[in-house]
Amino acid sequence: MSTDRSLTRLHAHEMAAGLRAGRFSAGELLAAHLALIEGQDRALNAWVSLDAPGARAAAADADARIAAARAEGAAALAALPALLGIPVGLKDLVVTRGQPSTAGSRILAGFRGPYDAHIAERLAAAGAVIPGKTNMDEFAMGSSTEHSAWGATANPWDLDRVPGGSSGGSAAAVAAYHVPVAIGTDTGGSIRQPAAVTGTVGMKPTYGRVSRYGIIAFASSLDQVGPFARDVRDAALLLGAVAGRDDRDSTSSALPVPDYAAALPEDRDRAAGILRGLRLGLPRQYFVDGMEPEVEARIREAVAALAAAGAEIVEVDLPHTGYGLATYYIIAPAEASANLARHDGIRYGRSVREGDVLGSYLATRGEGFGPEVKRRIMLGTYALSAGYYDAYYLKAQKVRTLIKEDFDRAFTRVDALIAPSTPTVAFPLGARTGDPLAMYLSDICTIPVNAAGLPALSVPCGLADGLPVGLQLIGQAWDEARLFAIGRAWEAIDADAPWRRLEPAALPRLDDPATPSMKGRAQA
Ligand code: GLN
């Protein structure tokens, strides 16, 4: 079997075309990706568990479906699902039948899914090939993947830096060509921030666009599932494959899901054409204190390029932005403290027996949860306690409404907003683990979007000091299609930028046996 590395450099839509044209098989495609994963993951640690036999069976199924369609003719080939035979990474909080899902936590060590998450069912039906589960901050709490019980993930651009978080494993796997696309979740920025600092595309869809059934919960009123990819079209393909109503998640929307990818023009001029007359709002408050000047420079240059291509740039105010972080760090821990109560050593995963039921409960949670998760549980139970509920939780819910109203007002004047995804490039491993507030500040530009339930797309917009910068496009509820169109337009007008021809700078080090292992690093 060929394990041709060049196959891993293709976009998913190019892989799909190659499979249909018979240029390579799904089995060969998987073998090429597994060879990279097996050779490089010691140094990257993007993967928590692999299921090579399951993936090989799915690839063989895909090849059989393609062969059958080819025998039937061109129409049958064209009707095959877009992700048939395509490797897709799943964040380690997506439950799949018979396979491990730990959500990056020791407390779920040994847990195997009794059923498939809605999105796993949808991906299986589409014929996607799942090599395994990707690393993440424990229960998705963090911005660096250093809170994983299974050791941090490295950033393919600089192995001494974080890949962002909490979906850092998915972001790093996509950036390092271990998979063309991967699933993440975003509660306060966990898709957009890692996408930004790894130079990948990431979208947090509108709250309710994708079912959360079978997604291990963090903060239920904020959590959304979304795609990582190396271009906008692939992100659109993956979202299209998993979005839509599921009766098992009452918050999932019955609104029709447009064919996001089919609507994106291949032709550069046509893609850029959507910018003419489009009104893009630049929120003043997103250019925060402490923003790195080189990051700000890349964002301002992108804004200027979008304006030169015909977009009208309008300065807008989102006056309650500054309260976003404080609001989030009441609401998210409050919901987390309730969601995490189910991890009691009786129902799931790990169980530490010590004396009576209470003793076993305390021992299981004491040993099973890491320090950041315990901090969140304490914050959350405190904010929900009698006497504090009104002062903290209720107040935070009211401020959340004000944040949403800021966006509502802005969208009476503009079609979408443009902002940085993060104020800084990827930071060094260990730089923020000693200071929770510094870690929390990583999400200052992404959190308000979750509070308001809106969709937002992060697209790479160049390098600052050799590290990727992300441009964030924020849309009105259910307007993902427009965000993809603007993202595609940005790719079209920026297509000749020299940075687009670069691969992540540290990839050669991943192949070097002298590079230190990231497996089993201590949990922060
Ligand atoms: N970094 C934020 C947190 O720690 C957001 C994480 C997320 O989106 N899951 O809560």
Q: What is the pLDDT of residues 302-315, one digit of tens each?
A: 999 999 999 999 99
Q: Is 167 in the pocket of ligand 1 (CB under 6 A)?
A: no
State whether the beta carbon of 186 lies less than 6 angstroms from ligand 1.
yes
Q: What is the pLDDT of residues 194-242, one digit of tens each?
A: 999 999 999 999 999 999 999 999 999 999 999 999 999 999 999 999 9
Is residue 372 lining ligand 1, measured as CB closer than 6 Å? no
Give pLDDT, residue 347: 85
Region 356-371: mean pLDDT is 96
pLDDT at 3: 64
- Of the candidates 91, 167, 337, 458, the residue annotated as catalytic is 91
What was the pLDDT predicted at 410? 98
* 99 CB within 6 A, ligand 1: no
187 lines ligand 1 (CB under 6 A): yes
- Report how far ligand 1's centroid is from the alpha carbon of 191 (Å): 9
Please give the C-alpha separations between residue 437 and each of 91, 143, 169, 434, in angstroms, as whole numbers.
25, 11, 23, 9
Give 161 Cα–ligand 1 centroid separation in angstroms: 18
Those residues with Cβ within 8 angstroms of residue 210's Cβ, 6 or more apart along the chain or in another chain: 119, 224, 225, 226, 239, 242, 243, 244, 252
Mutation test of ligand 1: which of 143, 224, 329, 339 has the most ligand atoms closer than 8 Å to its C-beta?
A: 143
- Mean predicted confidence (pLDDT) in 258-274: 97
* DSSP class per residue in 263-328: TS-SSHHHHHHTTTT-EEEEEGGGS-TT--HHHHHHHHHHHHHHHHTTPEEEEE--TTGGGHHHHH
User: Per-residue pLDDT averaged across 137-166, rounded?
Assistant: 98
Q: What confidence category does residue 2 fall into, taking pLDDT thresholds of 50, 70 and 90?
A: very low
Instruction: Please check the confidence at residue 399 and state whether its pLDDT lies above 70.
Output: yes
Ligand 1 atom nearest 140 alpha carbon: 9
Quote the CA–CA distance of 468 and 470 in Å, as a whole number: 7
pLDDT confidence of residue 501: 96
Task: Give the start-end residues of each E strand in 144-192.
Answer: 181-186
Active site residue 190: yes
pLDDT for 521 equals 83
450 lines ligand 1 (CB under 6 A): no
The mean pLDDT of 57-67, rounded to a whole number, is 98
As a whole number, mean pLDDT of residues 62-69 equals 98
Residue 201: strand, helix, or coil: strand
Q: Looking at the predicted structure, is the pLDDT value of residue 4 above 80?
A: no
Tell me the CA–centroid distance for residue 371 and ligand 1, in Å: 15
Could you tell which of 93, 134, 141, 327 is best to mutate to test the pocket of ligand 1, judged by most ligand atoms within 8 Å of the CB? 141
What integer is the mean pLDDT of 128-148?
A: 98
- Tell whether ligand 1 has an atom less than 6 A from the beta carbon of residue 141: yes
Separation between Cα atoms, residue 103 and residue 299, nearest integer Å? 33
- Mean pLDDT for the chain overall: 97
DSSP string across 437-456 = HHHHGGGTTTHHHHHHT--E
Beta strands 47-50 and 88-91, pairing class = unpaired
- When pLDDT is cut at 50, 70 and 90, the band that residue 515 belongs to is very high
Q: Which atom of ligand 1 is nearest to the CA of 443?
A: 1
Is the Cβ atom of 422 under 6 angstroms away from ligand 1? no
Centre of ligand 1 from the C-alpha of residue 82, in Å: 31
Q: Which of these is catalytic: 166, 211, 253, 442?
A: 166
Evaluate whether 15 touches 86 at the Cβ level (below 8 Å): yes
At 42, give phi and psi (nearest 5°): -55, -45
Query: Is there a contact between 421 and 287 (Cβ–Cβ < 8 Å)?
Result: no
Report how far residue 406's alpha carbon sits from residue 320's, in angstroms, rounded to the nearest whole number. Answer: 7
Ligand 1: residue of 91, 134, 135, 137 to mutate (most ligand atoms within 8 A of CB) is 137
Residues, the chain, total?
524
pTM value > 0.95: yes
Cβ 190 under 6 angstroms from ligand 1:
yes
CA distance 50 to 37: 9
Q: Give me the catalytic one of 101, 143, 167, 190.
A: 190
Smallest CA separation from ligand 1 atom 5, residue:
188
> Has residue 393 got a pLDDT over 60?
yes
The pLDDT-based confidence of 264 (bands split at 50, 70, 90) is very high
Whole-number pLDDT of residue 520: 78
Closest residue to atom 10 of ligand 1, CA basis:
141
